[in-house]
């Protein structure tokens, strides 16, 4: 390994001409460093620039500005067939006119590998994805899951430094997808290859990744481990995109050390002891962010601090949790209550119209700069 | 933008092939303004205007129509006018009948199972895999044998005798056009989701209403392109017409072919140019309409 | 009555397909059968058919004739076999040339920007919409001794001070070949384009990703995947070339006689429909055999309909 980073994108911009004739930046000054042996995900909704970034690493597109480095070497206009990265395509892109064996062997033939060498390596690759015995089938004769495995074997047989996966599980049904997620992760750990994984499915990204880049509008919103992304979203977009959040608008009334007192007009209450990030000043408009499962419900005002009254407007029982929707002085909040005890009596659940108390623990809240 | 560039070889070949496709047509149009009546060499454009046509040997020295001398000549040619009328009459009649029965067959073959289905489907491929001349002489044989038998059996004479003419040409045209209409409409029906029809029936439409209000509008583009294909096939056809036409049913291609074997004046070029222009405008118009429709949807 | 029809799907289908099936049966299948019957018949002195069973017409086609100049019982005249051979080789040559010319153009159009694609296709179709006969005539004007090609070569020769004798191009086998290629080129471009356009760009990317450069990608991915188009185009070109008689009639004069010309003359000039029918059946069988072996090797292209 010549470099600490398997792949690095340095201030990369990619502009396209839209059909209307104007310019649009699909990727807008993106900088990312992907470590060797890492399972790295790019997560975002369609059009966020994740696929374009991946295609620039693969070499199907070239950056308008900036540079992509693979193993520390600038790629410039290096064509895909000269890069030591391989791609698993969203559509699998299997050659329909070739058998499974021929598909997997294709890349090795291009390297000019010897015939028995090819046979040996293809056999091993197919074993790895549990497709032994399918060599002579055509891609069309396989199920979606099997086709996906062929695509995987075809890329892995080249022993790339980096494997690029563009929503590889998107076409599979839920159960198969979950199985494949674990299998892919295990495969990655076993092989020690760097995986760069593009997905719009946050659960998938959280399940598999060592690190995630959350992207939106061509920019990286936040980069970090799954825990960091979920527990410490750096802005409102990430907090909203990953999981669910309650947002309460407020204003910093006073500061002391790393804690602030935030006045929330909609609750007509002050939240005391809120942890704040750097750069916030007194009088600044902020958004207080709290996950629905981190709000406590109490029958009566016990602590008297960071507590306020609310009315239940709706409840939805979903098995693991009960979703309680409340109205607190006009602010609509959602609270997830875990069903820790087994019960049937409807009276043991919160009912619509019931008056309750909500408690916000300062350590569970985030105070973010207002967008 | 795209890392895959087009190779210079492909571009050179493309330019050459387009040149090959267009050079003859450009030459053809150019010669329609030829001053030479013999039309062997190009003797320059027909020059000045004058009250009457002035000829010098085989050279047109001047003409009231000027440059468009041969076009005026063409307009005065009754044979051409008649041939044009025949061509259009045959093409329109044959297209309408072929489109209707061809569409019916397409629906039937795509949607139903019945005993003679394999036979019906197979017969559609005959005009594709059999040379046109075989169909042409086949039709000629059929008509001449059948007409000969009828004429003898009923002792017909004079005008009453059955003979080749507009009807035989039209009937034969329909036979080779129908398969194309059916195959085009069938291809369109293949991508047609049956749930649209089920939805219509679910909402209370009977079979006929469902067809009229849902199925037909959805396959209409396919039907129209099938009809257009059939129409151009009919206009263009030479071989089938050649064997099945009779007195009074000369079409333009047959007429031009007759001229080519005798004397050729730039009139043929003028006729060709007018033909090209009409077809070109018609197709262009159709394209514009189609792309507009696509934009609306 | 209506209720019964509604319930009987099979009757509905039959009724819908009936007009077409009957029409094709009467005008395509019965005539083929008639042709077969007549080919075994004899010509009456006034040019009519005498129904009988004789293989004379086929024997005559194979080259043996009883009409010998020096009093022999039978003699061999390869005239008709030569005509058949000439037609076959012309059809092969035309098809090969057309593939070579059509492929790069189809490739160019398929890879063009989607917005320009329609225009390029349209430009292929325009010559097709000018009439078949007119297209032959256009080449007649170009190939003549005093035609445009000789004039242009003459200019160049004059410019280079080379003595120039106009080429005799019209009424040669070459003229017929050029005419055939011109007539049927668009029928090859369209199906090849259709099959090339269907190839998902991710397949090209996958090939490049796996290490194939553009030549290898073309040979291993593009070409095999566009074969259905080439097959369909071949069927659309080979069969009509085998049977066409106008091109050879006008551009070949009396020099290049093909099966088509032979059949046409038997029906209209020589007035021997029995011999014409035999020749036409042989033509049909030849094309069917070639098509059968060709499609068995490469599959029957569904692109035929798309074109």
Taking only the tens place, the pLDDT of each residue in C116-129 is: 888 898 889 888 87
User: CB A80 to CB C221 under 8 A?
Assistant: no
Q: Are B51 and B64 in contact (CB under 8 A)?
A: yes
- What pLDDT sits at residue B41? 72
In chain B, pLDDT over 70 holds for what percent of residues? 94
**What's the mean pLDDT when you consider all of chain C?**
87
**Domain for residue C42, yes or no?**
no
CA separation for the pair A231, A314 (Å, rounded): 27
3-class SS at C84? helix
* Structural domain containing residue C161: 84-306
> Closest partner residue to C305 among B184, B236, B239, by Cβ?
B184
User: CB C200 to CB A107 under 8 A?
Assistant: no
- What pLDDT sits at residue A56? 95
CA separation for the pair A159, A163 (Å, rounded): 9
Average pLDDT of the segment spanning A219-236 = 94
**Phi, psi values for residue B237, rounded to 5°:** -65, 135
CA separation for the pair B43, B25 (Å, rounded): 19
- What pLDDT sits at residue B287? 75
Q: In what order do the strands lie in the sheet containing A285-290?
A: A269-275, A259-264, A246-256, A285-290, A365-369
CA separation for the pair B132, A123 (Å, rounded): 53
**What's the mean pLDDT when you consider all of chain A?**
90
- pLDDT reading at A158 higher than 60: yes
Shortest distance between the Cα of A236 and any Cα of chain C, in A, equals 36
Which fold, B78-262? Answer: MetI-like fold (1.10.3720)
- Which residues make beta-bridge pairs with A321? A338
> Closest partner residue to B133 among C125, C185, C260, by Cβ?
C260
- What pLDDT sits at residue A301? 67
Q: Which residues of A249-277 are buried (b: 16+ CB within 10 A; e: fewer)?
A: ebebeeeeeeebbbebeebebebebbebe
Which of B105-119, B122-136, C84-98, C164-178 tops mean pLDDT? C84-98
Q: Are A155 and A113 in contact (CB under 8 A)?
A: no
Average pLDDT of the segment spanning B14-22 = 94
Which of A97-106, B272-281, C8-17 tops mean pLDDT? A97-106
* Contact status of B3 with chain A (Cβ, < 8 Å): yes
- What pLDDT sits at residue C276? 92
Query: B83 burial class (0-12, 13-18, 19+ CB within 10 angstroms)?
Result: buried
Say whether the ipTM exceeds 0.95. Answer: no
Shortest distance between the Cα of B200 and any Cα of chain C, in A, equals 17
**What's the mean pLDDT when you consider all of chain B?**
85
The angle at the Cα of C173, spanning C171 to C178, to the nearest 5 degrees, equals 95
CATH code at C103?
1.10.3720.10
**Domain for residue C288, yes or no?**
yes
Query: B157 burial class (0-12, 13-18, 19+ CB within 10 angstroms)?
Result: exposed
> Closest partner residue to C104 among B13, B107, B236, by Cβ?
B13
Q: List, in sequence order, the alpha helices (H) in C144-272.
A: 148-159, 173-198, 201-209, 214-217, 223-243, 246-251, 259-268
* Contact status of A81 with chain C (Cβ, < 8 Å): yes
- What pLDDT sits at residue C306? 45
pLDDT digit string (tens) for C189-247?
999 999 999 898 899 999 999 999 888 999 999 999 999 899 989 988 999 999 899 99
Number of domains within chain C: 1
The residue to which tokens 């008649």 are assigned: B82
CB atoms within 10 A of CB A89: 22
- pLDDT reading at A368 higher than 90: no
User: Six-digit token pair at B118?
Assistant: 């394999």
- Cα-Cα-Cα-Cα torsion A226, A227, A231, A233, nearest 10 degrees, comes to -40
**Domain for residue C204, yes or no?**
yes
Q: Which chains touch C (3 or more CB pairs under 8 A)?
A: A, B
H/E element holding B269? Answer: helix B266-296
CA separation for the pair A161, A109 (Å, rounded): 19
3-class SS at A37? coil
- pLDDT reading at C152 higher than 90: no
Average pLDDT of the segment spanning C130-155 = 87
- pLDDT reading at B296 higher than 60: no
Shortest distance between the Cα of B84 and any Cα of chain C, in A, equals 13
Shortest distance between the Cα of C276 and any Cα of chain B, in A, equals 9
- pLDDT reading at B131 higher than 60: yes
Counting one residue from chain B and one from chain C, the pairs whose CB atoms sit within 8 A come to: 274
CA separation for the pair B263, B265 (Å, rounded): 7
Average pLDDT of the segment spanning C292-306 = 65
- What pLDDT sits at residue B51? 67
> Closest partner residue to A93 among C205, C211, C220, by Cβ?
C205
**Domain for residue C96, yes or no?**
yes
- Cα-Cα-Cα-Cα torsion B254, B260, B266, B272, nearest 10 degrees, comes to 40
Average pLDDT of the segment spanning A95-106 = 92
Cβ-based contacts of A106 with chain C (< 8 Å): 207, 210, 212, 220
- pLDDT reading at A150 higher than 60: yes
CA separation for the pair B128, C281 (Å, rounded): 16
For residue B34, give the DSSP letter.
B
**Domain for residue C300, yes or no?**
yes
User: CB A77 to CB B1 under 8 A?
Assistant: no
- The model's confidence at residue A314, banded by pLDDT at 50, 70 and 90, is very high
pLDDT digit string (tens) for B142-160?
999 899 889 888 888 877 7
Query: A337 burial class (0-12, 13-18, 19+ CB within 10 angstroms)?
Result: middle
- The model's confidence at residue A6, banded by pLDDT at 50, 70 and 90, is very high
Q: Which residues of C87-107 are buried (b: 16+ CB within 10 A; e: fewer)?
A: bbebbeebbebbbebbbbbbb
CA separation for the pair A161, C250 (Å, rounded): 66
**Domain for residue C184, yes or no?**
yes
Cβ-based contacts of A61 with chain B (< 8 Å): 1, 3
User: Six-digit token pair at B71?
Assistant: 């076009």
How far is the CA of A48 from the CAs of A23, A27, A30, A166, B6, in angstroms? 16, 8, 12, 14, 30
- Which residues make beta-bridge pairs with C76? C64
**Domain for residue C186, yes or no?**
yes
3-class SS at B10? helix
**Domain for residue C142, yes or no?**
yes
Counting one residue from chain A and one from chain B, the pairs whose CB atoms sit within 8 A come to: 10
User: CB C205 to CB A89 under 8 A?
Assistant: yes
Residue B17: closest CA among chain C residues belongs to which residue? C101
Q: Enumerate the domain spans of chain B.
A: 8-71, 78-262
Average pLDDT of the segment spanning C156-173 = 86
Contacts of A127 (CB under 8 A, 6+ apart): none
- Give all domains of chain A, ordered by start, each with its CATH number: 5-235 (3.40.50.300), 244-369 (2.40.50.140)
Span of A37-41, A302-306, C276-280 with lowest mean pLDDT: A302-306
CA separation for the pair A143, A152 (Å, rounded): 14
Q: Specify the pTM.
A: 0.82
Shortest distance between the Cα of C64 and any Cα of chain B, in A, equals 24
């Amino acid at each position: 390994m010549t470099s600490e980073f398997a792949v690095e994108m340095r201030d990369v911009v990619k502009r396209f001409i839209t059909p209307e004739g104007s310019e649009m930046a699909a990727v807008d000054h993106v900088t990312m460093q992907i470590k060797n042996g890492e399972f790295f995900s790019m997560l975002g909704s369609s059009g966020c620039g994740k696929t374009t970034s991946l295609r620039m690493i693969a070499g199907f597109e070239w950056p308008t500005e900036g540079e992509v480095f693979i193993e520390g070497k600038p790629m410039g206009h290096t064509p895909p067939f000269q890069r030591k990265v391989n791609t698993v395509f969203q559509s699998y892109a299997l050659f329909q006119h070739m058998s499974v064996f021929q598909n997997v062997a294709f890349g090795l033939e291009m390297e000019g590998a010897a015939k028995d060498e090819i046979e040996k390596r293809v056999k091993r690759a197919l074993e790895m994805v549990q497709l032994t015995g399918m060599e002579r089938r055509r891609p069309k004769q396989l199920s979606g899951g099997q086709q996906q495995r062929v695509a995987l074997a075809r890329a892995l047989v080249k022993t790339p430094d980096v494997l690029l996966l563009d929503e590889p599980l998107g076409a599979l049904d839920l159960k198969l997808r979950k199985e494949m997620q674990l299998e892919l992760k295990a495969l990655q750990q076993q092989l020690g290859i760097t995986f760069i994984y593009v997905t719009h499915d946050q659960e998938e990204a959280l399940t598999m990744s060592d690190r995630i880049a959350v992207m939106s509008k061509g920019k990286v919103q936040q980069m970090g481990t799954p825990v960091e992304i979920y527990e410490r979203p750096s802005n409102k977009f990430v907090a909203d995109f990953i999981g669910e959040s309650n947002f309460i608008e407020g204003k910093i009334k006073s500061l002391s050390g790393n804690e602030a007192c935030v006045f929330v007009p909609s609750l007509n209450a002050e939240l005391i002891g809120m942890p704040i990030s750097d750069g916030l000043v007194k009088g600044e408009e902020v958004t207080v962010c709290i996950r629905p499962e981190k709000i406590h419900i109490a029958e009566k005002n016990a602590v008297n601090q960071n507590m306020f009254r609310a009315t239940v407007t709706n409840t939805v029982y979903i098995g693991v949790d009960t979703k309680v929707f409340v109205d607190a002085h006009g602010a609509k909040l959602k609270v997830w209550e875990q069903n820790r005890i087994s019960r049937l009596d409807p009276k043991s659940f919160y009912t619509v119209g019931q008056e309750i108390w909500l408690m916000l623990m300062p350590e569970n809240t985030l105070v973010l700069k207002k967008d | 933008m795209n890392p895959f560039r087009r190779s210079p070889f492909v571009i050179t070949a493309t330019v050459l092939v387009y040149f090959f496709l267009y050079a003859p047509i450009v030459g053809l149009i150019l010669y329609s303004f030829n001053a030479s009546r013999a039309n062997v060499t190009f003797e320059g454009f027909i020059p000045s205007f004058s009250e009457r046509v002035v000829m010098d040997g085989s050279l047109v020295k001047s003409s009231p129509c000027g440059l468009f001398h041969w076009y005026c000549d063409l307009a005065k040619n009754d044979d051409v006018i008649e041939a044009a009328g025949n061509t259009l009459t045959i093409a329109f009649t044959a297209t309408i009948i072929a489109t209707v029965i061809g569409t019916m067959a397409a629906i039937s073959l795509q949607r139903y199972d019945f005993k003679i289905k394999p036979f019906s489907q197979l017969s559609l491929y005959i005009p594709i895999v059999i040379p046109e001349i075989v169909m042409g002489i086949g039709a000629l044989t059929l008509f001449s044998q059948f007409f000969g038998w009828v004429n003898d059996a009923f002792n017909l004479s004079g005008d009453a005798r059955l003979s080749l003419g507009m009807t035989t040409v039209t009937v034969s045209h329909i036979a080779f056009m129908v398969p194309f209409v059916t195959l085009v409409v069938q291809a369109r029906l293949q991508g047609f989701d049956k749930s649209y029809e089920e939805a219509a029936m679910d909402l209370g439409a009977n079979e006929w209403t469902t067809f009229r209000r849902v199925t037909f509008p959805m396959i209409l583009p396919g039907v129209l392109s099938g009809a257009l294909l059939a129409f151009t096939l009919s206009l263009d056809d030479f071989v089938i017409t050649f064997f099945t036409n009779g007195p009074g049913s000369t079409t333009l291609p047959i007429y031009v072919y007759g001229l080519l074997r005798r004397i050729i004046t730039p009139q043929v070029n003028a006729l060709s140019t007018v033909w090209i222009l009409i077809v070109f405008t018609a197709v262009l118009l159709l394209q514009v309409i189609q792309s507009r429709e696509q934009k609306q949807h | 009555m209506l209720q019964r029809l509604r319930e009987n799907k099979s009757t509905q289908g039959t009724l819908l397909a009936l007009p077409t099936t009957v029409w094709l049966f009467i005008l395509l299948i019965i005539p083929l059968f008639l042709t077969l019957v007549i080919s075994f018949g004899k010509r009456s002195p006034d040019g009519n058919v005498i129904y009988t069973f004789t293989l004379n017409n086929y024997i005559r086609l194979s080259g043996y004739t009883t009409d010998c100049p020096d009093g022999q019982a039978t003699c061999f005249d390869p005239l008709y076999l030569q005509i058949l051979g000439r037609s076959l080789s012309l059809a092969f040559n035309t098809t090969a040339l057309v593939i070579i010319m059509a492929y790069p153009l189809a490739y160019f159009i398929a890879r063009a920007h989607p917005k320009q694609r329609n225009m390029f296709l349209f430009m292929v179709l325009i010559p097709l919409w000018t009439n078949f006969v007119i297209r032959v005539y256009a080449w007649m004007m170009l190939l003549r001794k005093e035609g445009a090609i000789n004039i242009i070569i003459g200019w160049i020769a004059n410019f280079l001070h080379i003595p120039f004798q106009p080429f005799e191009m019209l009424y040669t086998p070459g003229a017929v070949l050029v005419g055939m290629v011109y007539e049927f080129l668009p029928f090859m471009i369209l199906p090849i384009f259709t099959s090339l356009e269907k190839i998902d760009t991710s397949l090209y990317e996958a090939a490049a990703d796996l290490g194939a450069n553009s030549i290898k990608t073309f040979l291993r991915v593009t070409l095999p995947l566009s074969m259905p188009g080439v097959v369909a185009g071949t069927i659309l070109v080979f069969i009509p070339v085998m049977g066409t008689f106008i091109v050879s009639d006008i551009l070949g004069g009396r020099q290049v006689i093909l099966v088509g010309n032979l059949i046409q003359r038997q029906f209209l000039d020589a007035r021997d429909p029995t011999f014409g029918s035999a020749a036409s059946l042989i033509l049909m069988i030849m094309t069917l055999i070639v098509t059968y072996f060709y499609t068995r090797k490469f599959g029957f292209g569904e692109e035929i309909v798309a074109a």
